[in-house]
Structures are given as structure tokens and as C-alpha cells.
Structure 1
């Protein structure tokens, strides 16, 4: 099977993560938590964005390996 067909099929799946998926925050809970402790909220948001960025970069760096794995799997079973 062609790799281009696997790539087009992969990017149309619901399990593919877009950058907005890594940085999504529920604004209502942030507003509620902000009223209680401002400094802890800022620290928690900074840590969240650092970890989300780390996950985002790791996901997109390892994406070619996942596509290669799906291509090899498709080749083996068909």
C-alpha cells in the first residue's frame, strides 16, 4: 500500500491530535481557582503550558515513526 494513502487516512482519523488539543483549558475552572489563590494559579498555568509544550513536541517528533509503523503493518497484513 502506498505511504501517501496511509498518511491521508491517518490525518483524517479522530485520534490524530492537533496543536489546540494539547493546550485546551477549561476557562471556568481557571476563573474559579483564580479567585482563591492567584500565585498558585499562575504557577499551575506555567507548569501546565510547559508540560503541554513538551507533549506537543514529543508527539510531532515521533509522528513519522508511527506512520512508518502503520505502513509496515499494512504491508505485512495485506
Structure 2
């Protein structure tokens, strides 16, 4: 299969980007992931810790096969 590429215009108010395989989205809804990320940010967790928390949550739900998660803080990232 050919990769699909999508260009999305970024809203300046967006702080976090979460890219993940279906190993995450098959177990958690968008709203659940967003809530976990916001909660983690309020606790002072960095992006690596947030990705680890999401991974542990999926594992607790019986998932984790073919799981990839990347969390990026857009406020700190150098974007061109």
C-alpha cells in the first residue's frame, strides 16, 4: 500500500499533536486520549511520559500489539 499524506492547517491554539497507530485508536476514543493528555500536562508530564501513560492504558485494556505512539508539544517544537 502507498502511504497517504494529508496536509492540515495548524491552529495556533493547538498545543499537542498525538500520532498513533490503530493499536491506540482501537482501544481509546479521541476524547479519552485528549482527556489523558490534558490531565498529564496538568501534572507536569513531558511528551515521553504522556506517550508511556497512553501505552500503559492500552496494555491494561488488553492491547499493545502493534502499538506506536508519538506525542509532540507544538509550543516547544521548531516548526517551519
Please, what TM-score do these two structures have when normalized by structure 1? Answer: 0.27
Q: Which one scores higher on RCO, CA 8 angstroms, separation ≥ 6?
A: 1
Name the structure where helix makes up a greater proportion of residues: 1
Please, what TM-score do these two structures have when normalized by structure 2? Answer: 0.26
